[in-house]
Structure 1
């Protein structure tokens, strides 16, 4: 089943179950997807939908960080619950060990030899593992690998 189909069926289930958090998150996600479809004038692919979901997850992480920094644990908890719903639609993330092994392999495959080749390694990582790693953590790992 496509991601879009899964979102639709989960939306209906959340509506029937009166799961307000899941319903609100999926409604917002469906609206964002529809707006994006209108922008590109075609239905979204699963990769484009994953990009959209990962942006939503990143927004939630940023909001949680800001709320916690300003002592608003109540609002941070709401954002965390919403982020948990969104994460269900993302592919299984790479562990730190898997990410390190993948970076080592990609450095060898791309022939990267120094910090100037970081873009090639990150591009290869994005092509093969889109949505499965934390960008900040990956860029730090690639940078440290290429500078040593």
Structure 2
């Protein structure tokens, strides 16, 4: 399948869906200057080509009493492929972990974004889950005092 070449209308569709994902096809079509059928075909093509990877509802953590965010840097004692894969598989099971990134240019091997209710829940997560992995050599945690910016949209190229 040939890679889809994005034009101004495709980029406009993507911008609108990133910021207002609940727009109906009719509303989306009106805003980008298309009739509903071609708009629907474009959205389907954007989905099939992977430009749109999914749809989600973003919940408010505060409404679920999840008010403590921690960034946890993890250093492993060995870097064999099976050890990295084992750690990644285990971390993927933890609902508290919002993100897990393999790093370079740092003393840490991974950085986790962890969301819990309070310090006691963080302690339980850290001691009962995370540090039970046999190859963890060190953990360093930082706690968020204030979230200055949070977004789910990605920057798209400007249209001419």
TM-score w.r.t. the length of structure 1 is 0.27
Larger relative contact order (Cα-Cα within 8 Å, sequence gap ≥ 6)? 2
More helix by share: 1
More strand by share: 2
TM-score w.r.t. the length of structure 2 is 0.25
Determine which structure has more spread, i.e. the larger CA radius of gyration: 2
